[in-house]
Amino acid sequence: MSEKKKVLMVCLGNICRSPIAEGVFQHITKEKGLSSQWMVDSAAVAGYHIGKSPDHRALLTMKNQGISYNNKARQVSQKDFETFDFIFGMDEENISDLKGMANQNPNCKATIGLLGDYDPEGERIIRDPYYDSGAEGFKKCYQQCLRSCTAFLEQHS
């Protein structure tokens, strides 16, 4: 069997958006019978929340959609650029930080881009819902991730 294609979801803290993107990707690859072809992980640009579980609102949003999630936050490393085929940021700042890191790595093999570039509804930026008090921002993030991950898988599987 050929090696799995590897996708890394990245946001600033790895406690809200990128865990949701990872959970959604994992969930739909399983649903579509594609788990043997894809590996997904997530990571942070910043180191504020290393070792922590996702924000409780992110966990609740996933739970409401039947998605279980057990990963803990970690920071992006140089090795990630050599390991992953696709590295997706959630906003332009993530992309700028990721490209800055990739430029320092002559062995970078990853394609870096916005996850939202795959959104058929054209909502390219997945905004940070961390400072929103309600669940709406998290639900919106989930819906954006679902649309984009579904379209990405249709194009690459």
Residue 12 DSSP class: S
Residue of 55, 80, 91, 128 marked catalytic: 128
Q: What are phi and psi of 18, to 5 degrees?
A: -70, -30
CB of 13 to ligand 4NP, least distance (A): 3
Q: Which residues contact 141 (CB under 8 A, 6 or more apart)?
A: 16, 17, 20, 61, 126, 127, 129
17 is catalytic: yes
Confirm or reject binding of residue 16 to ligand 4NP (CB under 6 A): yes
Residue of 16, 17, 41, 147 marked catalytic: 17
108 is catalytic: no
136: helix, coil or strand? helix
Confirm or reject binding of residue 80 to ligand 4NP (CB under 6 A): no
CB of 4 to ligand 4NP, least distance (A): 25
10: helix, coil or strand? strand
| Interaction residues for ligand 4NP, span 120-139 (CB under 6 A) | 128, 130
Q: Which is nearer to ligand 4NP, 34 or 101 (CB)?
A: 101
Q: What is the dihedral of CA 113, 116, 146, 136, to 10 degrees?
A: 130
The answer to whether the beta carbons of residues 6 and 39 sit under 8 Å apart is: yes
Q: Which is nearer to ligand 4NP, 4 or 132 (CB)?
A: 132
Q: Which is nearer to ligand 4NP, 31 or 92 (CB)?
A: 92
Confirm or reject binding of residue 10 to ligand 4NP (CB under 6 A): no
Half-sphere exposure of 48 (CA within 13 A, CB side): 10
Please give the residue ranges that form the binding site for ligand 4NP (CB under 6 A).
11-17, 48, 128, 130
- Catalytic residue positions, numbered: 11, 17, 128
